[in-house]
A and B are shown apart, each in its own frame.
Chain A
Amino acid sequence: GQSLEQPSEVTAVEGAIVQINCTYQTSGFYGLSWYQQHDGGAPTFLSYNALDGLEETGRFSSFLSRSDSYGYLLLQELQMKDSASYFCAVRAVVQAGTALIFGKGTTLSVSS
């Protein structure tokens, strides 16, 4: 089977840096993704790591260590609009094929 662990809640203030960790256990591994979801909205893609290392996209960065089955999402220069839920996800073997399996999500609250 597969499981992903991430903190349930994180709080921070505007302008700060926050790191959301994700550890995973899967049968077969193809990559680690991150999605953002605002209240009442649909999840939207943020980043994807297939190889070890850091991927940077603007204020957001994502890191993967396959040997440690671990990754994180780094959000810099936090803004109020970053208040949302963040999900890590892995593409894993599911029955005869592969599909994206999600963690339970981390709720980020950014205050002024």
Chain B
Amino acid sequence: DAGITQSPRHKVTETGTPVTLRCHQTENHRYMYWYRQDPGHGLRLIHYSYGVKDTDKGEVSDGYSVSRSKTEDFLLTLESATSSQTSVYFCAISETGQGAATNEKLFFGSGTQLSVL
């Protein structure tokens, strides 16, 4: 199994509070991604990173920010949590970001269940 650790695994917070989710990898992969998963919506890309300090927005980036100060860590911050951000958050990594067949695989962490009350 790819070495990806998400923390915390579960979190309950209140509306308006900031929340930071952490993704840590031991694979030295260049690309890291944050997705959220909601019933009926599949996996939606929030932000991704293609290197240290190199990040970009995804499909649903409003209300979220990210930081990557080290290859192994990718942080997702909900600046002021809202109930619509209640979701399961998955971090993923890949060796490359282009369509090279042998390196197209994304490896996912176990997910963080976030509830915003």
Chain A residues at the B interface, C-beta cutoff of 8 Å = 30-31, 33, 35, 41-45, 48, 50, 87, 89, 91, 94-105
Known: A30-B98, A100-B92, A101-B59. 15 other contacts (CB 8 A): A30-B99, A31-B101, A42-B110, A43-B106, A48-B105, A50-B104, A94-B45, A97-B97, A99-B48, A99-B56, A100-B94, A102-B35, A102-B43, A104-B42, A105-B43
Work out how many contacts link A and B, with CB atoms closer than 8 A. Answer: 76
Cβ of B74 within 8 Å of any chain A Cβ, yes or no, is no
On whether the beta carbons of B105 and A42 are closer than 8 Å, the reply is no
On whether the beta carbons of A96 and B43 are closer than 8 Å, the reply is no
* Interface 0/1 of B47-67, CB less than 8 Å to A: 010100000111100000000
Distance A32 CA – B106 CA, assembled complex (angstroms): 13
Distance A103 CA – B104 CA, assembled complex (angstroms): 17
Chain A residues near B101: list those with CB within 8 A: 31, 48, 50
Q: How far is the CB of B102 from chain A (nearest CB, A)?
A: 9
Distance A45 CA – B94 CA, assembled complex (angstroms): 11
Chain B residues at the A interface, C-beta cutoff of 8 Å = 33, 35, 40-45, 48, 50, 56-59, 90, 92, 94, 97-99, 101, 104-111
Chain A residues near B90: list those with CB within 8 A: 42-43
**Given A31-B101, A42-B110, are A95 and B42 also a contact pair (CB < 8 Å)?**
no
On whether the beta carbons of A104 and B40 are closer than 8 Å, the reply is yes
A-B contact pairs, 29 of them (CB 8 A): A31-B99, A31-B101, A31-B104, A33-B106, A42-B90, A42-B108, A42-B111, A43-B43, A44-B108, A45-B107, A48-B101, A91-B97, A91-B99, A94-B45, A94-B56, A94-B59, A95-B57, A95-B58, A97-B56, A98-B97, A99-B33, A99-B45, A99-B58, A99-B97, A100-B45, A100-B92, A102-B45, A103-B42, A105-B43
Chain B residues near A99: list those with CB within 8 A: 33, 45, 48, 56, 58, 97
Of B45, B97, B99, B110, the contact of A101 (CB 8 Å cutoff): B45
Chain A residues near B92: list those with CB within 8 A: 100
The interface centre, meaning the residue of B40, B59, B106 with most chain A CB atoms within 10 A of its CB, is: B106
